[in-house]
A and B are shown apart, each in its own frame.
Chain A
Amino acid sequence: MSYAWDFNFLWALGPLLLGGLINTGKLWAIAFSSGLAIGLAFGIMRTVPSRILRGIGMVYVEAIRNTPGLILLIWFYYALPILVGVQSSAWLAACVALSLYTGAYSAEIYRAGIASVEAGQWEAARAIGLSYAHQMRYIVLPQAVMRMIPAFGNRAIELAKATTLASTLAFGELLFTAKVIAEDQFRPLETFTAVSVIFTAVLLPLSYACIWLERRVARSGGIVRD
């Protein structure tokens, strides 16, 4: 039971771990920004009058949300060469899968946010002659966006967790790097403990920030959750 902890070797391998962390960060940044954009398109799609567009939006959201993320990732890894004819890579598959994954969840946040703006706002905007796009762009979204921010924060946290899925395709993000180090050094305990601590150290403050934001938004009226 008296295991001799030794973190010294990790300091030596710090640059390696840092490299993994940077890869995690890149993947996160790309998937989050494109996920927000995809989500906006599909989220709006789910609120428009056209039934066909609403249907497409729903199929996308339901398909992604009811499939385990890992299966999405592996699927795109094998499907990308066939569907678009590009050379597949873990990086590309992870970017596409995680963007679509975040897109589906943020679509729901946008939809709920848009739905939370009262009908009178739409009517008032229509009454002054704004087009549908302008009603959305200048009247509805600006009001809804504040209420969505905490939910997007939670999405950012979940996405950060999901980036570790890419390690199953041997993409060199933080967890995969750690696994390599652990096997190389025969020190799994210290290595995985360090990774675990890094994630919680980053995500816990973020999570508290979201809770704080949520309270603020709730106090100023109307919460949006994903």
Chain B
Amino acid sequence: MTEVLRLENLAKSYGQAQVLKDINLTVRKGETVCVIGASGSGKSTLLRCVNFLGYPTGGRIFLEGKLVGREVIDRSGRTEMRYREAELCAVRAHVGMVFQQFNLFPHMTAEENVMIGPVKIRGLSKAEAKARAAEHLQRVGILEKAGAYPGQLSGGQQQRVAIARALAMEPSIMLFDEATSALDPELVGEVLLAMRKLAQEGTTMLVVTHELGFAYNVAHRVIFLHEGTIHEEGTPEEVLVNPKKPRTQDFLRGVTTFRMPEPRIAPA
């Protein structure tokens, strides 16, 4: 299968603090990869590097086989990456991001939130963008709220609009950073359901989550991140049910929200 995203020796540090070390990861088309790990292990940092909301301090990122940025050799002979802002804008437009805090634009309706990217970046006409917005709002089951402002929506509804906003750019990969962590428990299900549907439709997804049930049922592969490195990697069975490394076992023992057969897809 064709690869969509490849990370080679990705590293990120803030000053002295090494937050990500030597990350190697490939995500193929149609694949859903879940990233789990303790708070502070670098999960958000990893996603933010992938769409360059934060700049990696080492390693290389390939998107659809193409290296992002340009390699230069500095005076001391080390290779370094140089990025141009225009190129990064294009990269971000091809990588969808869903935030923990939704970050919908409060001065726009749900529909306008979804339309703004296609109109201003992809250059679609208003009518085309409207049709596309309707399609993606439908996909996450929130078309009836198209005219509502974010302030009028519940958290779960807002997050689904945010997913539609990212989908409407027709990205090659979708990133989810704890998309359900800011939601009241009764609203978590509807968002996970929408995400699961996307996965089954063949969307390429890299999902940071604490919902181990979701990871078990939906992911093709699960990655356990520990102190900025990929500590264990494999199928959901391998990582979540029969973890080999003691750290992974400790982490899983500490997580109480491991609800396994869930969520059920509602009959269409």
Are chains A and B touching in the complex at the 8 Å CB cutoff?
no
Chain A residues near B (Cβ < 8 Å): none
Chain B residues near A (Cβ < 8 Å): none
